[in-house]
């Protein structure tokens, strides 16, 4: 049974759903510009009795935040779990959600039993000139008030190319079209020290899922996590890109279920 929830924080409202089941719940954290709905293809491929928590991070989807108030997505997740009375979870994050999940596991190792990182970013990462250049193009369009152009530029970003060429192209386009784009104009996330400097502290058993065609920054992030984490199992998918949960959801679901059950 799935039940919606609404959690009021001091400067934000988090919206999501909780599905009851047997065992430790699996929390799914979406990527930048997305929402909890991006997980649906993966959820459809997961066992129906697996307890799940999906939610929109602050400022994305149906969740809101007060402008100009510094915050941390990791702190928001901690508040969410406390509000729901959940002591320990299995945590899965995609892209920006993967950066948050890694950050949360490093900050609160007692709250994470197992960690799944799908094409993860990293808090405090120093992005390449190529990435920054692409990002600035999108931001300029958004700040000029042409959000349609910003969405088109984001859709055409090189790291989405494998997904654009796949059967999941429509799902990606719908997710981008639903994004209001305010984070391209202003992002109130508080500045944090780079997590790359403490990757050796990552003790939670970790499943790292990557695509061989992903953008170079994400490939490097994955290599660093794989090399420095204490217990990291990596599966690198040939001919797959960044959006693994849309491109090959059935494969990813099977790998996650196998990892959580061992």
- Residue pLDDT, tens place only, 39-83: 999 999 999 999 999 999 999 999 999 999 999 999 999 999 999
Q: Which residue has the tokens 């649906």?
A: 40
Query: Is 154 among the domain residues?
Result: no
Whether 113 maps to a domain, the answer reads yes
Q: Is 8 within the bounds of a domain? A: yes
- Identify the segments of the chain with pLDDT beneath 70: none
CB 15 within 8 A of CB 23: no
- Residue 1: the pLDDT is 81
Q: How far apart are CA 250 and CA 252, in angstroms?
A: 5
Residue 9 is part of which domain span? 2-126+188-260
Can you give the pLDDT at residue 257?
A: 98
Query: What are phi and psi for residue 108, nearest 5 degrees?
Result: -135, 65
Please tell me the predicted confidence (pLDDT) of residue 227: 98
Residue 255's pLDDT is 98
CA 253 to CA 162: how far, in whole Å? 19
What CATH code is carried by the domain that includes residue 63?
3.40.50.1820
Burial code of 80-110, b = ≥16 C-beta within 10 A, e = fewer? bbeebebeebbbbbbbbbbbbbbbbbbbbee
Partners of 92 in beta bridges:
28, 116
* Number of separate domains in the chain: 1
Residue 175 lies in a domain: no
Q: Is 173 a member of any domain?
A: no
Asked whether residue 142 is assigned to any structural domain, the reply reads no
Say if 228 falls within a structural domain.
Answer: yes
The number of beta carbons lying within 10 Å of the beta carbon of residue 123 is 22
Q: Is residue 254 part of a domain?
A: yes
The SS3 assignment for 6 reads strand
Strands 64-65, 12-19: parallel, antiparallel or unpaired by DSSP?
Answer: antiparallel
Q: What is the mean pLDDT of the chain?
A: 97
């Amino acid at each position: 049974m799935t039940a919606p929830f609404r959690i009021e924080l001091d400067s934000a409202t988090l919206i999501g759903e909780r599905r009851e089941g047997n065992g430790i719940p699996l929390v799914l954290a979406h990527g930048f510009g997305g929402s909890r709905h991006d997980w649906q293809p993966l959820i459809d491929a997961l066992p129906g009795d697996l307890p799940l928590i999906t939610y929109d991070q602050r400022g994305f989807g149906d969740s809101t935040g007060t402008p100009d108030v510094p915050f941390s997505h990791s702190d928001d997740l901690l508040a969410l779990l406390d509000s729901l009375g959940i002591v320990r979870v299995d945590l899965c994050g995609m892209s920006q959600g993967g950066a948050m999940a890694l950050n949360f596991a490093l900050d609160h190792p007692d709250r994470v039993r197992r960690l799944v990182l799908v094409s993860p970013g990293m808090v405090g990462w120093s992005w390449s000139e190529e990435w920054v250049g692409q990002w600035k193009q999108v931001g300029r369009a958004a700040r000029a008030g042409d959000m349609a152009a910003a969405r088109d530029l984001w859709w055409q970003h090189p790291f989405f190319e494998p997904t654009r060429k796949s059967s999941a192209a429509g799902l990606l386009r719908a997710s981008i079209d639903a994004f209001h784009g305010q984070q391209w104009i202003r992002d109130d996330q508080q500045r944090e020290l780079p997590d790359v400097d403490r990757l050796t502290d990552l003790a939670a058993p970790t499943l790292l899922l990557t695509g061989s065609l992903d953008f170079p920054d994400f490939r490097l992030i994955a290599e660093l996590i794989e090399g420095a984490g204490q217990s990291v199992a990596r599966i690198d998918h040939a001919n797959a890109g960044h959006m693994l949960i849309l491109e090959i959801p059935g494969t990813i679901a099977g790998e996650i279920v196998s990892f959580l059950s061992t």
